[in-house]
């Protein structure tokens, strides 16, 4: 998988919030095999003081994707992204501009505005967006090279509420990396996303709030790999009628 010119081996991106302890987070990151984790700017100050979270992340040896979680305007998101680049030393940014306080749906107007500003400033933007094709086109025009459509509201665990829309995105943007972000609750959800042709899955709550986050991280990784292989193998289409798996031609005839 190529993301802004960088080759990434794992198709699982993992969030770092809500884990019972830093040690359990570290275990989940390792068992999942992820190479990219998302980090909110609020988790650590620029001086590295406080919880030592930044030191833990550095020891994991994974790539950091800072995010603008909690921002509700383009201005807030741009300012947060600028600070995140100073703190984490990367041009990568997961761009969130939240428009609805209940379902945390992106404000697509503010999202496109912020994406254009940040792209002009040299950021490599990973936009958390809806599954709308027109919004996707606008984000690509704004300079994004990756799209991150939601599967369902953040933290809901509802899985893929509109698989047809994601399938349409894959057909409409055949050469754009598509990463399902938000709503994944079970390994089967992650597998389904990959079977639809998505390039990767970003999840957090499903692992962090599992009874055993380390085991769930491994389960998600296996599901994503299985789904990707299924898509690559060109799975059979569903049929309305039964079709015998054993050919009837040449069968014995009994009177």
Q: Domains in the chain and their CATH numbers?
A: 2-233 (3.20.20.70)
Q: 239 pLDDT exceeds 90?
A: no
79 annotated as a binding-site residue:
no
Indicate whether 78 pLDDT > 80: yes
Q: Average the pLDDT over 71-86 and give the result.
A: 94
| pLDDT, the chain, mean | 91
Is 58 among the residues known to form the active site? no
What gap in Å lies between CA 124 and CA 233, rounded to an integer?
Answer: 31
Q: Is the pLDDT of residue 252 over 60?
A: yes
Q: How much is the pTM?
A: 0.89
Contact at 8 Å (CB) between 99 and 72? Answer: yes
Q: What is the pLDDT of residues 121-168, one digit of tens each?
A: 999 999 999 999 999 999 999 999 999 999 999 989 999 999 999 999
Asked whether residue 110 is marked as a ligand-binding residue, the answer is no
Contacts of 110 (CB under 8 A, 6+ apart): 72, 73, 74, 77, 97, 99
- Percentage of the chain lying above the pLDDT 70 cut: 93
Q: Choose, from 30, 58, 63, 94, the residue flagged as catalytic.
A: 94
183 is in an annotated binding site: yes
For residue 49, name the pLDDT band (cuts at 50, 70, 90). very low
Strands 2-3 and 6-7: antiparallel
* Whether pLDDT at 44 is above 60: no
Q: In angstroms, how far apart are the furthest CA atoms of the chain?
A: 88
Predicted confidence at residue 250, as pLDDT, reads 67
Structure token digits, residue 111: 């999202």
Q: Is 67 annotated as a binding residue?
A: no
Q: What is the pLDDT of residue 51?
A: 57
Task: Tell me: pLDDT of 54 over 60.
Answer: yes
Q: How far apart (Å, rounded) are the C-alpha atoms in residues 116 and 114?
A: 5
Q: Residue 152: what pLDDT?
A: 92
pLDDT more than 90, % of the chain:
76
Mean pLDDT of 48-52: 55
């Amino acid at each position: 998988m190529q993301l802004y010119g960088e080759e990434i081996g794992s198709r699982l991106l993992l969030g770092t919030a809500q884990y019972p302890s830093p040690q359990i987070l570290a275990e989940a990151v390792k068992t999942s095999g992820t190479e990219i984790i998302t980090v909110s700017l609020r988790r650590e100050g620029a001086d590295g003081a406080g919880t030592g979270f930044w030191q833990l992340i550095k020891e994991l040896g994974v790539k950091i994707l800072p995010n603008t979680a909690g921002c509700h305007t383009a201005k807030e998101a741009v300012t947060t992204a600028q600070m995140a680049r100073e703190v984490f030393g990367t041009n990568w940014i997961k761009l969130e501009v939240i428009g609805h306080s209940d379902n945390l749906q992106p404000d697509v107007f503010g999202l496109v505005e912020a994406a254009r500003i940040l792209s002009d400033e040299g950021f490599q933007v990973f936009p958390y967006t809806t599954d709308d094709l027109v919004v996707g086109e606008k984000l690509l025009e704004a300079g994004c090279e990756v799209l991150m459509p939601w599967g369902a509201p953040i933290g809901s665990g509802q899985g893929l509420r509109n698989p047809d829309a994601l399938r349409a995105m894959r057909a409409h943007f055949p050469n754009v990396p598509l990463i399902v972000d938000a709503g994944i609750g079970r390994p089967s959800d992650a597998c389904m996303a990959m079977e639809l042709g998505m390039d990767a899955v970003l999840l957090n709550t499903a692992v962090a709030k599992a009874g055993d986050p380390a085991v769930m991280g491994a389960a998600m990784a296996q599901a994503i790999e299985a789904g990707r292989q299924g898509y690559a193998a060109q799975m059979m289409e569903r049929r309305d009628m039964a079709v015998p798996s054993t050919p009837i031609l040449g069968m014995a005839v009994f009177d």
